[in-house]
Amino acid sequence: MALLKIARMGHPVLKQRAEEVSDPTAPEIRHLVADMIETMQDANGTGLAAPQVHIPLRVVVFYVNAARAAREDAGDELDSQESDDDSGESGVPLTVLINPELEFLTEEQSIGWEGCLSVPGLAGQVPRWTALRYSAFDLEGRRFERTARGFHARVVQHECDHLDGVLYPQRMIDLSTLTFTSEIGAANEPVENQS
């Protein structure tokens, strides 16, 4: 495994649609995923998409820390009786998405802080759909599906945006909230790197 260089905002690889993976079980995909996981963990990120490491393929790795999800979701007005997150809890274990597809389950959006390893030192308030279903292939070539709400849904949308050449500042509706992460702490708004 190796640490990979993270592309930063402005690099052409972050502006294009990534290509479909033809064989999710290929050894080079397994190797890429292992390197992406190591890179994400080293950078203290929640997720990482292949274009962020200069590989224009539709591959994402992410996890959702249960404590962070609870903290992030505490401010959302989600109906807990409607939550059918397939993880069975607010956390989601390390997950690999190959050729993911999203289906939004609601028109409802919430605005939350997002940071990004490709936009270092900055964060902004981004609107995201509060519930979605996603499907993807895993490293064994099996297609799976999950329903996500709250912070889990936010992470998946953020990472999948990278596969379509979109960075979170392009989703912001109020650019006045784009700020240095060091300044957010002064306002008691915790932000960690999304991807």
Catalytic residue IDs:
159
Residue 62 CA to its chain's centroid (Å) = 6
Token pair for 179: 């700020």
Rg (CA), the chain: 16
